[in-house]
Structure 1
Amino acid sequence: HGIVLDSARRQVTRNGEYIRLAHKEFAVLATLMAADGAVVSAEELLERVWDENIDPFSNTVRVTMSKLRAKLGDPQVIRTVPGSGYLI
């Protein structure tokens, strides 16, 4: 989808254009990309990206996903799998 994630530099580009991401947005994108097409649940994202003090019933993942999708632009690359989680 034209997305390149450089973990060493903490940079993301899409079709050659730099996309500024917040720390959590970058971590969520890295987690989804590392899953290689597998579904990643919201609970798994909370465990991997946020600390253990996060409220598991908060809408943190949903809000972060919305911001990340907006920054990545169209066509959308992150899909929601109802009842399961998210995937690229």
Structure 2
Amino acid sequence: MRLRPATDEAFARGQAERYAAWHRQIRALAERSVKDREFSGDDLDGFTVRFAALADGLARQRLRQAPPLSTQDARRHLNRLVETELTVRADRD
């Protein structure tokens, strides 16, 4: 079954809107962690893109299991990215 161009365009717009909303959510969480002094970070836009890309790639790898990836390992990779990109504040309350 081949989708019509209008359907393809509607799908693409929907996907773009979902990804934009997801990026806004990631960015808002990162901003809140910086505001709450849990982390510090000076490139939240870059962090947002890298976090979304890694999460998306890990989700696809997890679904395909090629190579095998556990949920715990995927979380570990995401946590490592957060710890690397957003520095834990030594002076946090």
Q: Scaled by the length of structure 2, what TM-score is found?
A: 0.30
Structure with the bigger percentage of helix: 2
